[in-house]
């Protein structure tokens, strides 16, 4: 077992492992395509009426699938009959298969909607509480002028972002840019104006597979890569995670590796963890939403390499419709930004995955 970059290889490995472990395996075709190879794969172990439900999802940001797939496969290997007592496991592989196949963080929606960041899309757009955060005008202007074929414009684009990163500081930059914007569908972190297919798939799974009257505790581990030090697994807690979720996280890792998203990353709107509050959760049921985030940055300025890959991939997709001589190079850099090719990174991802499941499965 190893971390590999391609969607189909991860899909094949996950499905094979699920069947080997005796899981009930089924597939939800991607709603935005007729491609039979695009699907979210669901593997289920345990009693459908269990009091405890453990949900492990991967590939919300499609290109980030590989590490999440490994996390899921390692968990499947470790589950024994004793772990299934009053417990149901639901593995959701490639929530965003479109992004996973085409090396994008983004997804599509109904009609012509595209470039939607699923992790900024889990919200009620009709709610009076929803405020459509605007895109940064300077970044929007730079994007409009940027060209993959013109080195001077590309350098200007890179210089603008580098300056923003350095002058504002990483924390401030993230809060102003990464939190999500809802006015410019061509820029990164665009949350859309309607539900993307990833969100619709998740809603379907939650209502039909997870929210049962018998459920008393629902643990949701959502797997991501990209943010944080190279190879380090951190646990991110969303705004609505609650003290009970923090107490669980403290049993799984050390305090310095537990981060509250609003404080450490950005006040993200449309997060999947916070979205649990929108479901008709049975009275008395506790939700434990935790993001597993494996760091990948290798740059001297932390994170700027990952951001650069996102920006160039967005340019290629939104301005060139993936038709450019540099296509293969840009896509490979995007894949490597979220799944580094070094054996060292693969090894630490696997080791930390083993460790966190050993701890979780032996909790009293």
Regarding predicted confidence, which is higher, 310 or 173?
Answer: 310
- Compute CA distances 15 → 180, 356, 361, whole Å: 33, 22, 22
Let me know if residue 113 belongs to a domain: yes
Lateral strand order in the sheet of 233-237: 24-29, 39-46, 87-93, 52-57, 217-229, 286-297, 233-237, 258-260
- Give the pLDDT of residue 264: 63
Residue 140 reports pLDDT greater than 70: yes
Let me know if residue 220 belongs to a domain: yes
> Structural domain of residue 76, as residue ranges?
7-132+197-298+341-361
Residue 138 reports pLDDT greater than 90: no
pLDDT digits (tens, 9 = 90+) for 9-28: 999 999 999 999 999 999 99
Grade residue 337 by pLDDT with cuts at 50, 70 and 90: very high
Q: Count Cβ atoms within 10 A of the Cβ of residue 125 and give its class: 0-12 exposed, 13-18 middle, 19 or more buried.
A: middle
Residue 250 neighbours by CB distance under 10 Å: 12
Look up residue 271 and give its DSSP letter. Answer: -
Half-sphere exposure of 75 (CA within 13 A, CB side): 32
Closest to 68 in 3D by CA, of 14, 105, 119: 14
Closest to 65 in 3D by CA, of 33, 27, 97, 89: 97
- Give the pLDDT of residue 170: 65
Q: What is the mean pLDDT of the chain?
A: 92
Tokens of 120: 């900024």
pLDDT digits (tens, 9 = 90+) for 95-129: 999 999 999 999 999 989 999 999 999 999 999 88
pLDDT digits (tens, 9 = 90+) for 217-275: 999 999 999 999 999 999 999 988 999 999 999 999 999 999 997 676 556 788 999 99
Question: Total domain count for the chain?
Answer: 1
- Give the pLDDT of residue 44: 98
- Give the pLDDT of residue 266: 58
User: For helices 151-168 and 170-177, what crossing angle results, to 10°?
Assistant: 110
pTM equals 0.95
Q: Of all residues in the chain, what percent carry a pLDDT higher than 70? A: 96
pLDDT digits (tens, 9 = 90+) for 164-213: 777 777 667 767 778 889 999 999 999 999 999 999 999 999 999 999 99
Tokens of 172: 């401030």
- Give the pLDDT of residue 171: 67
**Cβ neighbours for 50, distance < 8 A, ≥ 6 positions apart:** 86, 87, 88, 212, 214, 215
In 178-326, which ranges are continuous DSSP H helix? 197-205, 243-252, 261-264, 304-320
User: Hey, is 85 helix, strand or coil?
Assistant: coil
Regarding predicted confidence, which is higher, 293 or 169?
Answer: 293
Q: Where on the phi/psi map is residue 226: left (φ > 0), alpha (ψ -120 to 50), or beta? A: left
Let me know if residue 351 belongs to a domain: yes
- Give the pLDDT of residue 176: 74
Let me know if residue 142 belongs to a domain: no
Let me know if residue 240 belongs to a domain: yes
- Give the pLDDT of residue 77: 97
Regarding predicted confidence, which is higher, 157 or 62?
Answer: 62
Let me know if residue 334 belongs to a domain: no
Strand 258-260 relative to strand 39-46: parallel, antiparallel, unpaired? Answer: unpaired
Let me know if residue 59 belongs to a domain: yes
Let me know if residue 119 belongs to a domain: yes
Tally of helices (H runs) and strands (E runs) in the chain: 12, 8
User: For helices 137-145 and 151-168, what crossing angle results, to 10°?
Assistant: 160
Residue 184 neighbours by CB distance under 10 Å: 18
- CATH of residue 247's domain is 3.40.630.10
Q: Count Cβ atoms within 10 A of the Cβ of residue 328 and give its class: 0-12 exposed, 13-18 middle, 19 or more buried.
A: exposed
Residue 93 reports pLDDT greater than 90: yes
Q: What share of the chain is helix, strand, coil (3-state, %, to 5)?
A: 45, 20, 35
Tokens of 81: 């009959």
């Amino acid at each position: 077992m190893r971390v590999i970059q391609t969607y189909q290889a991860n899909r094949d490995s996950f499905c094979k492992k699920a069947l080997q472990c005796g899981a009930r395996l089924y597939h939800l075709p991607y709603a935005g395509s007729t491609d039979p190879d695009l699907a979210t794969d669901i593997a289920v172990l345990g009693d459908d009426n269990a009091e405890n439900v453990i949900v492990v999802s991967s590939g919300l940001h499609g290109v980030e699938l590989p590490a999440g797939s490994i996390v899921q496969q390692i968990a499947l290997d470790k589950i024994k009959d004793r772990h299934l007592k009053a417990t149901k496991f639901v593995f959701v592989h490639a929530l965003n298969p479109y992004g996973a196949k085409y090396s994008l963080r983004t997804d599509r929606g109904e009609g012509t909607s595209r470039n939607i960041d699923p992790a900024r899309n889990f919200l009620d757009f009709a709610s009076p509480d929803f405020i459509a955060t605007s895109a940064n005008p300077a970044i929007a202007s730079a994007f409009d002028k940027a060209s993959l074929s013109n080195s001077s414009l590309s350098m200007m684009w890179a210089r603008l972002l580098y300056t923003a990163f350095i002058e504002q500081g990483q924390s401030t930059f993230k809060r102003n840019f990464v939190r999500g914007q809802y006015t410019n569908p061509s820029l990164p972190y665009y949350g859309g104006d309607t539900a993307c297919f990833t969100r619709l798939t998740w809603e379907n799974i939650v209502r039909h597979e997870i929210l049962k009257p018998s459920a008393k505790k629902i643990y949701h581990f959502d797997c991501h890569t990209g943010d944080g030090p190279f190879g380090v697994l951190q646990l991110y807690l969303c705004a609505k995670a609650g003290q009970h979720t923090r107490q669980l996280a403290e049993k799984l890792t050390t305090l310095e590796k537990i981060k509250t998203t609003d404080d450490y990353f950005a006040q993200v709107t449309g997060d999947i963890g916070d979205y649990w509050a929108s479901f008709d959760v049975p009275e008395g049921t506790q939700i434990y939403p935790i993001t597993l985030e494996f760091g990948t940055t290798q740059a001297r300025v932390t994170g700027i390499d990952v951001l650069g890959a996102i920006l160039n991939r967005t340019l290629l997709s939104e301005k060139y419709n993936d038709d450019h001589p540099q296509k293969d190079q840009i896509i490979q850099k995007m894949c490597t930004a979220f799944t580094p090719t070094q054996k060292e990174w693969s090894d630490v991802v696997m080791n930390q995955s083993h460790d966190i499941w050993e701890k979780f499965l032996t909790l009293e």
